[in-house]
Structure 1
């Protein structure tokens, strides 16, 4: 499954919407995504499973890269 992770760097600052970044992660479940990313210095806002038309749309973006964990 592919998950879209909304996050901010660094993880110890107050979240500001304009600084939100995204990454795509391939994992079995949302729990595994959060476990693997907990060592990074990021503040995870949302982990969203994407599929179907939403996934196809995201794949058209030039910055679309999947992190396998």
Structure 2
């Protein structure tokens, strides 16, 4: 499954919408996605969303859509 992860690169400062970034991740579950991010990055995760159906099709049309692999 593909997951959309919203995160902040900086864990010291308070999260701000203007600095929120996105990555896309292939994982078997939401828990697996969070474990991969925590193990491989220092990011402050705000939200993880499973993408399916129309949501996935919409995100694939974006220029920023690229599956991150660790």
TM-score, normalised by the number of residues in structure 2? 0.89
| 1:12 corresponding residue in structure 2 | 12
Equivalent residues in 2 for 1:22-41, closer than 5 Å: 22-39=22-39, 40-41=41-42
**2-side partners of 1:38 and 1:12: how far apart?**
16
Query: Does structure 1 residue 53 correspond to structure 2 residue 54?
Result: yes
Alignment length, in residue pairs?
A: 69
Point out 4+ residue stretches in structure 1 off by more than 4 angstroms. Answer: none
Q: Return the alpha-carbon distance in structure 1 between the equivalents of residues 14 and 22 of structure 2.
A: 17
Unaligned runs of 5+ in 2: none
Which region of structure 1 is more displaced relative to structure 2, 53-62 or 9-18? Answer: 9-18
Could you tell me how far apart the structure 2 residues matched to 1:13 and 1:30 are?
Answer: 25
Unaligned regions of 5+ residues in structure 1, if any?
none
Counterpart residue number, 1:21? 21
Over aligned residues, Cα RMSD in angstroms?
Answer: 1.2
